[in-house]
């Protein structure tokens, strides 16, 4: 089944360059649309993407992380690594550690930030930076 991404505007026209929901297949209940506001992060693994949701579920999709990163709203999502895009609404703090720059999500997951992207991520999330 095709995973098409589109939003509807108030005039009823379709805008296909930004997505507000993702159609995913849950093995228990079948195909459903999930709001991207519930999407915590996307991790890329060998041409596939793992989508992690705030209800604790995750789905593997047959699209690259680049496919999603180019369509997600830049106000809500930020690419922190070659293989990871996070929803900035779920970030609790960012910090520079002995292992390098990291951020902690509301789920408790710690994500390493690429050294090349650290200055941009720190600027974007400066209100969460703890040194």
Considering the domain boundaries, does residue 41 fall inside one?
A: yes
pLDDT class for 18, splitting at 50, 70, 90? low
- Which of 72 and 24 is assigned the larger pLDDT? 72
Q: What is the pTM of this model?
A: 0.78
3-state class (DSSP) for residue 74: coil
On whether residue 1 sits in a domain, the answer given is no
Q: How far is CA 59 from CA 65, 67, 83, 93, 116, in A?
A: 13, 15, 16, 25, 28
Q: Is residue 99 in some structural domain?
A: yes
In a domain, 38, yes or no: yes
Per the structure, how many domains does the chain have? 1
- pLDDT band at residue 21 using 50, 70 and 90 as cut-offs: confident
Q: Print the domain residue range for 23.
A: 7-128
Report percent pLDDT > 90 for the chain: 31
Q: Is the pLDDT of residue 123 over 60?
A: yes
In this predicted structure, the answer to whether residue 34 has a pLDDT above a threshold of 80 is yes
* 2 found inside a domain: no
CATH number of the domain to which 38 belongs: 2.40.50.1020
104's tokens: 């902690």
Confidence class for position 39, pLDDT limits 50, 70, 90: very high
Closest-CA residue to 83 (of 97, 59, 65): 65
Query: Residue 100 falls within a domain, yes or no?
Result: yes
DSSP result, 85-96? EEEGGGEEEEEE
Q: What is the pLDDT of residue 112?
A: 92
Domain membership flag for residue 33: yes
Given a contact cutoff of 8 angstroms between Cβ atoms, the answer to whether 110 and 95 are in contact is no
């Amino acid at each position: 089944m095709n995973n098409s991404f589109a939003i509807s505007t108030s005039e009823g026209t379709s805008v296909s360059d930004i997505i507000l929901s993702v159609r995913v297949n849950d093995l228990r209940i079948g195909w459903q649309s999930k709001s991207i506001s519930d999407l915590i992060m996307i991790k890329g693994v060998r041409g596939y993407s793992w989508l992690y949701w705030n209800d604790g579920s995750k789905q593997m999709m047959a699209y690259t992380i680049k496919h999603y990163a180019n369509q997600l709203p830049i106000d809500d999502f930020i690419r922190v690594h070659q293989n990871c895009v996070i929803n900035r609404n779920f970030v609790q703090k960012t910090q520079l550690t002995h292992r390098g720059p990291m951020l902690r999500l509301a789920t408790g997951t710690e994500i390493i930030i690429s050294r090349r992207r650290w200055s941009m991520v720190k600027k974007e999330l400066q209100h969460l930076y703890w040194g």
